[in-house]
Structure 1
């Protein structure tokens, strides 16, 4: 429990997606260090960093000549931007100002879809890298991007498991 200027905010460190108490309606935007240190926060930060690596490694090549790399780039950029947006929402507790949104469900669907689409992208990219682009001058960047795409899909899968637990707790509680 934290007290700040007469408003009460409930912080549950075991459930980082737990919304703040509705009586907490201050206009001060603060950074939640509890979320960043939680398993969910660590995974989200890893997703942002690894997703940026996937984007950067592909963007530095002539990926547009191979249409499947365009798909990988789309997934990487799309989920990187949305993950960054959700990170900012949860760090600043802005999500608690929109109680109409079922955040546990939104985060569960988001993480599950990201895990599946990133895994598909990583498999597509691995297939392309393993099948004949070895002599291509972008091979090293594409191979590294494939590795990081698999890592970020694992991070999203871990986040999906954690968000499923949160969703189940909210549903049964």
Structure 2
């Protein structure tokens, strides 16, 4: 019925194009010219000013006021996403994932960040109590409001440039 074949001790290996592509994509390059571009400078400004917003609020007794909890959520959420976006563009990782429409992703991200940050900035400003004797966090909250509006402006300008980039590539 079934004839038994002798086993061979030879092992044959082949190289696939997938493994070659994977090994070549593991080395990330840094795009120093990105730091000098308008989107790069805006991302850095958003990271720095966003960090100042949530650091100034986190250093206060924000947990006593639910409005500042909302502002903290917005600032930390968009700060983390902005850091990830900066890393993706600075390391040129976006060129390794060509199926993602990066111009549209940046447009949606910056547009949503601008709108939500504007709301958070207004909430931050409206929540400041001028009674300095009762709230010794007044200066921190006032400074956080100033930087929140600066971040909002940065996201608005980023939205404009993202729109221009998206429109020219569409």
TM-score by length of 2: 0.82
In structure 1, the partner of 2:50 is 51
Q: How does 1:1-173 map to 2 (within 5 A)?
A: 26-129=25-128, 131-132=129-130, 134-135=132-133, 136-171=135-170
What is the rounded CA distance, in whole Å, between the counterparts of 2:39 and 2:106 in structure 1?
11
The runs of 4+ residues in structure 1 deviating greater than 2 Å are: 25-28, 131-135
CA contact under 8 A between 2:130 and 2:138: conserved in structure 1?
no
Shift of 1:28: 2.4
**Closer, same or farther: CA 43–133 of 1 in aligned 2, 3 Å:** farther
What is the rounded CA distance, in whole Å, between the counterparts of 2:113 and 2:154 in structure 1?
10
Deviations 1:122-142 (A, max 9, x none): 11111111x555441111100
Compare 25-34 and 151-160 and name the one that shifted more.
25-34
| Unpaired runs of at least 5, structure 2 | 1-23
What is the rounded CA distance, in whole Å, between the counterparts of 1:134 and 1:81 in structure 2?
32
CA contact under 8 A between 2:56 and 2:140: conserved in structure 1?
yes
TM-score by length of 1: 0.81
What is the rounded CA distance, in whole Å, between the counterparts of 2:102 and 2:132 in structure 1?
44
Aligned residues: CA RMSD: 1.2
Count of residue pairs the alignment pairs up: 146
